[in-house]
Amino acid sequence: MDFSIVIATYNRPNKVTELIDKLLNLNEQTTKIIVVDASDEHSDILLGREKIIYLRSSHKNQPFQRYLGYLASDTEILIFLDDDLEVVDKEFVTKIREIFEDKTISGIAINFANKHEDSL
């Protein structure tokens, strides 16, 4: 079952690159990562990377960035992530795929936890 991960980012090239590297190193192979970047400057580091679709957006609001990611995807499952998230469960993609094997399910929400006291 194919899926895409859509990451909205704004002026955090190091964070988004770190997240992408972790996603690409998961046990489960990711199909496609779509980065929608509304940063002031484009990120040359993401251009031309395998499995990465890099889109620029002049709109700085996250819902619109996610919508652009949706438009760029051609997969059954979309996973929306923020650029400052940290992957703590390396099996999360496998778990999501298992949930969607039940064809009556059309969406889920992931539980997030704040692991960084300094970001309150």
pLDDT tens series, the chain, 120 aa: 678 899 999 988 888 999 998 888 876 666 789 999 998 887 777 777 778 899 998 888 888 999 999 999 998 888 898 888 888 888 887 888 888 888 788 777 766 666 666 655
Of 24, 25, 33, residue with least CA distance to 5: 33
Indicate the domain borders of the chain.
Answer: 3-111
Of 60, 63, 101, residue with least CA distance to 80: 63
CATH number for the region 3-111 comes to 3.90.550.10
Name residue 56's beta-bridge partners.
Answer: 37
